[in-house]
Chain A
Amino acid sequence: MSKSSKENLLGGARGPLALTGVGLFSPAGRGLPALQKALDLRRSCLSTLERVGLSGSADRGGLVPEESIPPPPATAYARGGLTSRMASLAVAAALDAVGAAELKSGRVAIHLGTALGAIEGLEKFVRATPGGLVGLEGGGAHFSHAQLAREVLELLEISARGVSWGRPRVFSVTCVSTLCALEQAAADLAFDRAEAAIVVGLDALSRFMASGFRALGALSPTGRLLPFDEEHDGILLGEGAAAYVVETLAGARGRGVSPLAVLPSQRLLSDANHLTSPDPAGRGMAAAVRGALEDAGLAASEVGGVTLTAVGSSVYDPMLERALGDGLGPEEALRVPVSSWEAATGHLLAATGAVGPVHGAGVLGRGQLPALWGGGRPDPGCALSLARGAPLSLRSPSLLALTVGFGGQNGAALLAGLDLANRWAVPDDVAASAGGGPDPAHPVPIHGVAVLEGAGDLQASQFPGRWNPRRSIPADIEPAATATARALEAAGWWRPHTGALVPGGLVVAVEGATLAPAVRFARDLEDRPGALRGPSDFLFSLPSTAAAVLGLLFGLPTSQATVVGGPEVALDALRHALDLLALRRVERVVLVTLSVTPDRRAATAWCLAPLDSASPEKHDPSAPGRRRAEIACGFSRARGSSTMPPPGDSSVALLERAARWIARGGSQSPESLEGEVADGWIQLRTKGL
């Protein structure tokens, strides 16, 4: 066993995270046992998709049985609002996890990961209200991620009154969304903002989602799911909601709760290879695997097993095999047992990143991986030790759960049984006293900043990365690209025609995430069922596509997060960025805010890093946009009432004002700037710097 640095563990200096409860709604029904039973019996939960309006012969997927979903509390209706099915699913999964964790009180954070969580409600609205979408072309706020978060919080507050719930943040990075949510949950625990945190992944199998994946050529044209098979021709989709409770291992033991597993480490890396596809050589995933093992100090030979997602794809199957060979070494990659739950359920979109730990806890409890089935002609070129047709025992009580997402997103989470937990445990007094202290944890130097309103002025030819220089930058994203270019240049982190000079993370706050193509799609359904104007319509409805485009343009991201929803979105993204830096999850972060509404497009970009990892170039404070300033942010309400604030002044607007204040440069008067939004604040200062 190699030695790990405790600081690289997910819980920071407070030790590994303990997973103390899980909840799951999958096509197999309610609960992890339902999924395990389906896998044990090799019972496919895939079905036709008439329920969501798809009736083609290849239209098959996994739908959560309606009878398994508990109704929302009657008091939710009494508040006068319709509760969306996905909010109900998310809350039901969260409450099952809370119940299993015996969590009855305390400060509890909750973070959601979803790609298009609200889209299903939009489609239902169209079916129920012909012509009712007039006026929604601009963005469909009623079906936004912000509304989903609002409903989730309302339901939680009604259903679990003893708990002081934090405001849900929504992360949207396609199928790895919940890995970003886990990063935020880990930071909240590391900084003692919460005593426990719930990570929820959810997505619905909607017509728009299925049509988009089909337009991208990702779905099996034969309606079959054939993992690592000679005839594999694509994935099949499913839907679901998965939730798990994490807390520090010391905290769980202090409550007298026996954890199901520990989560010592996770790495999420974007290889910025393509808008949808990963590096075919699997270098990004291999680096994520190596990083997760290094953080935990675990040797490849000690990995007990591996679970995979997006299986059956002729893109991902070979990529994952190569990544395991590279990440674990060719010998260990052939020995370690590998499987997936997707033969039973299909690919559960953003829920899948949460199913990894949820299913993984069950795998560790049983000591074996479920059988992988689907086809009868195993790919002779695949040399992995797949649990083909029969379960395989774990080599040790540890499991790597690999998750992939559009934009070359590669996630590797390491879970371990309690037998191994003491390898990472820290003394209780250290766990109790460690952490980043109260907010603001660490004011962070700003190395470059830019603000832009209206159209940008970039030429695609300035970018030597993977963006096609003959392609225009999409109009909705151009302000963000232009602001990012200016901020990066000011920081000395990037130059036109040269490319990225330094690696870094990318955090994008999207306000008013335009669901316009989805709204248009839904309107078209009234006249032309199943119409989708092309894959771009789908891709550019995903909030995370802005970050994916920036990654391709600038070649930047080593990790990537997109935060969406609500007036606090920029504050949440800033907090996430500062937490990533404070916990040394990345060395540098480019924070981008993007506001896209029918009337206005604007963006800010911020290059943030501690001084010791700022730039490989000599710092030049006279460079345009480069000002010696620091930024901090915090939340005014760490506990107590958690009622979602009404939409008001936007935190994106606040950051725009702040960026202008810095960009004015010269002698600052006053020497600091503070601003507040609904439940948080930011502060910038130049004094003494």
Chain B
Amino acid sequence: MSDQLRTRIKEMLVRQLKLQVTPAEIDDAAPLFGEGLGLDSIDVLEVVASIEKEFGVSIQSQEEGERILTSVNGIAEFVERKGQPA
């Protein structure tokens, strides 16, 4: 996984979710939900839409989403596996 990809994902999260943290403050492995970034169920849907728009890859099911949307690393692995970043 490239650092560049992870940075893009963090920038996407900060921009789309209007977070009051900088991309650099987001830990690659920190959980996105609960004690990590504290995202909620609406944020999940926002992130799914953003990933599709930003990287051209779509998450097909809730189960798949639960596996992928664990951390920045989880999203990066999914994007790399599904296709090259747009």
Contacts and interface: CB of A to CB of B under 8 A. Distances in A.
Q: Do A and B actually bind?
A: yes
Contacts of A274: 40-42
A470 B38 contact: yes
B76 to A, nearest CB: 20
Given A215-B49, A470-B37, A535 B42 contact: yes
B20 A472 contact: yes
Interface string B41-52: 111011001100
A470 B21 contact: yes
A469 B46 contact: no
Interface in B20-45: 20-21, 37-43, 45
Give the one of A216, A460, A470 with max B CB within 10 A.
A470
A277 B43 CA distance: 13
Contacts of B53: 533
A535 B45 contact: yes
Chain A interface SS verdict (over half): loop
B20 A460 contact: yes
A539 interface: yes
Nearest to A315: B41
B72 to A, nearest CB: 14
B46 A535 contact: yes
Contact of A215 (B18, B20, B45): B45
Given A274-B40, A277-B41, A471 B46 contact: no
A536 interface: yes
A468 B40 contact: yes
Contacts of B41: 217, 274, 276-277
A529 interface: no
Contacts of A533: 49, 53
Interface string A533-553: 111100100000000000000
B19 A534 contact: no
B49 A534 contact: yes
Interface in B38-84: 38-43, 45-46, 49-50, 53
A275 interface: yes
A216 B18 contact: no
A276 B42 contact: yes
A216 B37 contact: no
Nearest to A275: B42
Contacts of B43: 468
A459 B50 contact: no
A276 B45 CA distance: 13
Contact of B42 (A469, A474, A532, A536): A536
19 contacts: A215-B45, A216-B42, A217-B45, A274-B40, A276-B41, A276-B42, A459-B20, A469-B38, A470-B37, A471-B19, A471-B38, A472-B18, A472-B19, A532-B49, A534-B46, A534-B49, A534-B50, A535-B45, A535-B49
9 closest Cβ contacts across the A-B interface? A472-B18, A468-B38, A534-B49, A534-B46, A535-B45, A470-B19, A472-B20, A535-B42, A470-B38
Given A469-B20, A534-B45, 17 more contacts: A215-B49, A216-B42, A274-B41, A277-B41, A470-B20, A470-B37, A470-B38, A471-B20, A472-B19, A474-B18, A533-B49, A533-B53, A534-B16, A534-B46, A534-B49, A535-B42, A536-B42
Interface of A: 215-217, 274-277, 459-461, 468-472, 474, 532-536, 539
